[in-house]
Amino acid sequence: MSQVVIGMIGAGNMADALIKGLLGRHVLLPDAVWATNRSNRERLAALQARYSIRGTPTKPALLAASNVLILAVKPKDTLQLLAELEGTVRTDQLTISVIAGIPLAVLEAKLPGVPLIRAMPNTSAAVLASATALTAGLHATDEHVRTATRIFDAVGDTVLVPEEVLDVVTGLSGSGPAYVYRLIEAMIHGGTELGLTGDLARRLAVQTLIGAARMLAESREDPGELRRRVTSPGGTTMAALGVLEDRGFALAVRDAISRAAERAREMAREFGGRDGQDAKR
């Protein structure tokens, strides 16, 4: 990675998280990171001040200096960005898109010959604990994939998947933190309605989540087996799980993941133009 210079196009939360991870874990030095932002100059200035990276309000200097580009704009801005980049991105510039829902076909139509990788991290990148999936385009080599993996390993765990399942990844882990927050929110509300203080309910619920996640990570056992171990016949946990299953807990989670994946496909049609429609048929 000593020869890598990254150009972040978009200076939002994901760019912030990636910069934090890359610098904090000594993958890159600050002068090897460039960033630009189309409209929010205050945001760009804040990133420069916080991390001592190179910031620029326009793209040409960033494009000239970088050999890895990270596209981190909103889906609705994708076609405008690709129009700006068309004919200016070099075929030796690895280009990584973290734009949700926009398929490789759209990117490759506007950036022919460019090595492209789609990445689907999640918001836990902000605390260097993202689950990120990568999928490689036609011109991306194994070395390009290794480079992308090093970048996203700086903010968590990275896996390689075929593009046909990337929308499912979006539904599972891309949107997944929100499901967990909603569960914890409900646990806190349940605790407070039954007599706990808000601070105590939050402390207990959050630590319960941390402990359960650590058990899963460190034991490598099937979550169903861990669940069975703490579910004594006729006990409190069995009674609680019975309520969740009666209310359709597992089905609701499955349907939530399915709807998020479906929404990713809809976004490809809405924001990817004709290429996005063709790619999703």
Burial 236-267 (b: 16+ CB within 10 A, else e): eeeeeeeeeeeeeeeeeeeebbeebbebbbeb
Q: Tell me the pLDDT tens digit for each residue of 70-111.
A: 999 988 899 999 999 999 999 999 999 999 889 999 999 999
What is the rounded distance in angstroms from the CA atom of residue 95 to the CA atom of residue 208?
A: 39
From the list 230, 234, 231, 233, the residue with the least C-alpha distance to 219 is 230
Mean pLDDT of 45-68: 93
Mean pLDDT of 173-202: 97
What is the rounded distance in angstroms from the CA atom of residue 37 to the CA atom of residue 42?
A: 9
pLDDT at 274: 57
Domain 6-166 has CATH 3.40.50.720: yes
CB atoms within 10 A of CB 28: 22
pTM (predicted TM-score)? 0.88
Report the run of H or E that residue 96 belongs to, with start and end.
Answer: strand 94-97
Residue ranges of the domains in the chain?
Answer: 6-166, 174-258
What is the rounded distance in angstroms from the CA atom of residue 126 to the CA atom of residue 131?
A: 11
CB 102 within 8 A of CB 78: yes
pLDDT reading at 40 higher than 80: no
In CATH, the architecture of 174-258 is Orthogonal Bundle (1.10)
The average confidence (pLDDT) of the chain is: 92
What is the rounded distance in angstroms from the CA atom of residue 37 to the CA atom of residue 63?
A: 13
What is the rounded distance in angstroms from the CA atom of residue 18 to the CA atom of residue 36?
A: 14
State the DSSP code for 114: -
Mean pLDDT of 130-148: 96
pLDDT at 277: 47
